[in-house]
Amino acid sequence: MLETDRVRDLTSWDSDWAGLRVVVAGIGTSGFSAADTLIELGAAVVVVDAGATAGNEAKADTLRIVGAREVLLGAEHAEALPLVDGEQAELVVTSPGWRPTQPLLAEAAAAGIPVWGDVELAWRVRIREGRPTAEWLTITGTNGKTTTVGLTEAMLLAGGKRAVAAGNVGTPILDVIRDPQGYDVLAVELSSFQLHWAHSISPLASVCLNIAEDHVDWHGSYEAYLAAKASVYERTRVACVYNVEQRETEAMVEEADVVEGCRAVGFTTGMPSISMMGVVEDLLVDRAFIEQRKDSAAELASVSELGEVVPRHLVANALAAAALVRAAGLPASAVRDGIRAYRPGEHRIQVVANEDGVLWINDSKATNPHAASASLASFQSVVWIAGGLSKGVSYDDLVIRHAGRLRAVVLVGQDPAPLQGALARHAPDVPVSLHPSLHTGHGHDGGGSSDPVTGDALMQWVVSEAAGMARDGDTVLLAPAAASMDQFSSYAHRGAAFMAAVRARGDQGTTAKES
């Protein structure tokens, strides 16, 4: 990336943005926000998106009204870098989902034109005369990002800070930056895509919660994905927070180029050593941000305050969030009060029902093997509902690790073969049920169908099948280890369909008992 002197000097809202020729790639939530911000700054903006949908047309009309030079919709426009006011662009700002190999972005890179993401742009314009400049706490990881960001936000608010969760969750970060009142601290969730397009962020504290194979299709290799995640630690000023139980995250910290004086702070669900957060006798404790850390620890909260079902990875997320806010100078009481105030989002280890000795759990957010593994590890005997879009990952390690806790498996997904094959190899004695319309010829009954059942109707069958397999003391766990878009509109739709089917079944049981 070869920045001109002008682009390099764009380090605040009050820098010289006027007339800067910018192409914005994508008109989704982050792309629209980036274009709107750049237009407000006075830049000359052309917006490109391959989708000529009604929703995109409406957004395009809005951007034209506020001053976009052009908005180009349609696949043909995404194949080459457009001119801006008849000249080559000086900067491209891309939506995070656009791959580096996408033709428009590849052309920009080949021409030496810098490519930023919306998070990089937000960092560049965060300083604005007359408004407070928020500190950033940056959070990434293969799993647990949204929970940790939510806990961090709750702790910051409990500590009296004006704070908000932003980035890959909640409000678009550029909308947060433009808030007239400003903020004290931002809890910024960063995906690997956003990190790939960020080059100069220097957070107060940062964390990579964990790392496992994911999004290899986007990054091109696991090594590239790993490098993107590791970049969260670059230029950190006060504390790099890492997972003691995953050596890869500690290695990221060791190799990061940080600001002089920055500390490494670990978190563990076991007994903490010096400069760590951890657990002692069901208490979350701090041995990092107290003066007497060599021989004592500060109590933060009890594990039970995290909820009805407290899996190990939720404890880890809470400790990571605690480390971040403690690095920002908050007292131990803010951690406790934040945990008490926190309300987890749906579809994350969510208790749906506990009837007739069977616990029903919705973890539709477990969209990869690493997340599903954390869910499975939380329960002893499981009827597992799994499958969907695999994103090219392997399921062998997941099945090997948890075969002993599987009572039965109900498979979803239009291509169940990857998970079905792993179960056949490593858990051959575990009953596996597959909807007849999704039969793939791996020894299950059913003749296949050209019109497979999807969505709510499929989930009703799945829940009925799981109920027939479950026994007293079992957990029926929706932790798909895969994306959802082959049979549902989103992981949220998948989880909502599961909850509705479980509750409908419970209502039917109540009616039957009453009659």
Query: In which element (H, E) is residue 45 found?
Result: strand 44-49
Q: Is 125 part of any domain?
A: no
Cα→Cα distances 290→282, 285, 286, 323, Å: 20, 11, 7, 12
Q: Is 50 part of any domain?
A: yes
Please give the pLDDT value at position 2.
61
Give the domain-ending residue among 291, 322, 341. 341
Answer yes or no: do 185 and 270 share one domain.
yes
Please give the pLDDT value at position 439.
58
Please give the pLDDT value at position 451.
63
Answer yes or no: do 360 and 311 share one domain.
no
Answer yes or no: do 209 and 245 share one domain.
yes
Report whether 138 belongs to an annotated binding site.
Answer: no
Please give the pLDDT value at position 509.
58
Going residue by residue through the chain (515 aa), what tens digit of pLDDT does each one get? 567 889 999 999 999 999 999 999 999 999 999 999 999 999 999 999 999 999 999 999 999 999 999 999 999 999 999 999 999 999 999 999 899 999 999 999 999 999 999 999 999 999 999 999 999 999 999 888 989 999 999 999 999 999 999 998 878 899 999 999 999 999 999 999 999 999 999 999 999 999 987 777 777 788 988 999 999 999 999 999 999 999 999 999 999 999 999 999 999 999 999 999 999 999 999 999 998 888 889 999 999 999 878 889 899 999 999 999 999 999 999 999 999 999 876 777 888 999 889 999 999 989 889 889 988 988 999 999 999 988 778 899 999 999 999 999 999 988 888 999 999 999 999 999 998 877 544 333 334 444 677 889 999 999 999 999 999 999 999 999 999 888 898 999 999 999 999 999 876 654 444 44
Q: In whole angstroms, give the CA distance from residue 79 to residue 106.
A: 10
Please give the pLDDT value at position 506.
73
Answer yes or no: do 114 and 175 share one domain.
no
Please give the pLDDT value at position 378.
85
Greatest CA separation for the chain = 79
Report whether 145 belongs to an annotated binding site.
Answer: yes
Answer yes or no: do 111 and 145 share one domain.
no
As for how many domains the chain has, the answer is: 3
Report whether 144 belongs to an annotated binding site.
Answer: yes
Please give the pLDDT value at position 508.
63
Report whether 167 belongs to an annotated binding site.
Answer: no
Give the domain-ending residue among 77, 101, 120. 120
Answer yes or no: do 17 and 83 share one domain.
yes
| C-alpha distance across the termini of the chain, in Å | 72
Q: What is the CATH number of the domain that holds 249?
A: 3.40.1190.10
Report whether 142 belongs to an annotated binding site.
Answer: yes
Q: Is 512 part of any domain?
A: no
Answer yes or no: do 179 and 307 share one domain.
yes
Q: Is 17 part of any domain?
A: yes
139 CB-contact burial (10 Å; exposed 0-12 / middle 13-18 / buried 19+): buried
Q: In whole angstroms, give the CA distance from residue 497 to residue 510.
A: 20
Answer yes or no: do 155 and 66 share one domain.
no
Please give the pLDDT value at position 133.
96
Report whether 141 belongs to an annotated binding site.
Answer: yes
Q: What is the CATH number of the domain that holds 23?
A: 3.40.50.720
Q: What is the CATH number of the domain that holds 499?
A: 3.90.190.20
Q: In whole angstroms, give the CA distance from residue 59 to residue 66.
A: 11
Domain that holds residue 368: 350-506
Q: Is 15 part of any domain?
A: yes
Report whether 143 belongs to an annotated binding site.
Answer: yes
Q: Is 230 part of any domain?
A: yes
Q: In whole angstroms, give the CA distance from residue 167 to residue 156.
A: 17
